[in-house]
Amino acid sequence: MATIEEILELERLERDIFRGIIAETTLPRTFGGQVAGQALVSAVRTVDPEFLVHSLHGYFLRPGNPKEPTVFLVDRVRDGRSFATRRVTGIQDGQAIFTMSASFHVQDEGIEHQDEMPPVPDPETLGLATDSDDGETAWLAREWADWDLRLVPQADISKRPGAAAQQQVWFRSREALPDDPVFHVCALAYMSDMTLLGSSRIPHKDTPMQAASLDHAMWFLRPFRADEWLLYDQTSPSAGFGRALTQGRIFDRRGNMVAAVVQEGLTRHLRTQ
């Protein structure tokens, strides 16, 4: 399997055109986090270093072919004094499979507050995903073997009053990653698609369904490292009409809220014919 460094090391074909590698996978379609992470790398490479990405909004338009590379076209929408905006389109076989807008901001001074990190068991006290009796969890661990995943048992989650579905996952890269903070942001964009839609399945464990990410939005709030433990605190506040809304807050080990994620996914009943 390709490392996260290999996945995020894009080839520059032209000033604003980039190409990602073909990453070995058991998935029938290109992993959405890979497309989002590579698209963000493409956008980052067209922005001056003093501008840091603070948000992205993406749509998965077509299933990607994991046996083909994706080419990314960057549109330099805006370059202002405080903000810059880029639009990125991922292309395979002449068709758009993904589109994303990313916003960049120079660092300013302002008000500060955040939600408290929820009470949660330490990751070292939790079982390895590779040892899980749950087939889907064990598959996740095999597909993304470079990442240490620790799912918090449902019995150990402090339930929010009225919450329909909750899930918590500790994760980190098993290997040390480059010190470049931008690399860690792009790595988190890659990882953020991995387990989030699964939170919608918590109340429906025995229901066969077809699942796929439809859109993905992220806000990067504070510095972090993806090779240190991060808690992905996930909820699915609503599901209906074949779609599920999911939300995630990402905290570092010290309780800093470093990112927020919202995603809608396809969750329709599995068709038998």
Q: Which residues are catalytic?
A: 193, 213, 263
Instruction: Of 24, 95, 9, give the one whose Cα is nearest residue 66.
Output: 24
Strands 209-220 and 52-60, by their bridges, are antiparallel
Tokens 């433990």 appear where?
229
Residues 207, 127: Cα–Cα separation, whole Å? 25
Instruction: With CA atoms as reference, report the closest residue to 248 among 176, 206, 191.
Output: 191
The one-letter code for the residue type at 65 is N
Q: Are residues 138 and 129 in contact, defined by beta-carbon separation less than 8 angstroms?
A: yes
d(C-alpha 269, C-alpha 210), whole Å: 6
- Spatial CA neighbour of 262 closest among 237, 230, 225, 228: 237
Residue-level length of the chain = 273
**Burial code of 11-44, b = ≥16 C-beta within 10 A, e = fewer?**
eeeeebebbbbebebeeeebbbbbbbbbbbbbbb
**Residue 7 token pair:** 């996945």
Angstrom distance (rounded) from CA 61 to CA 213: 10
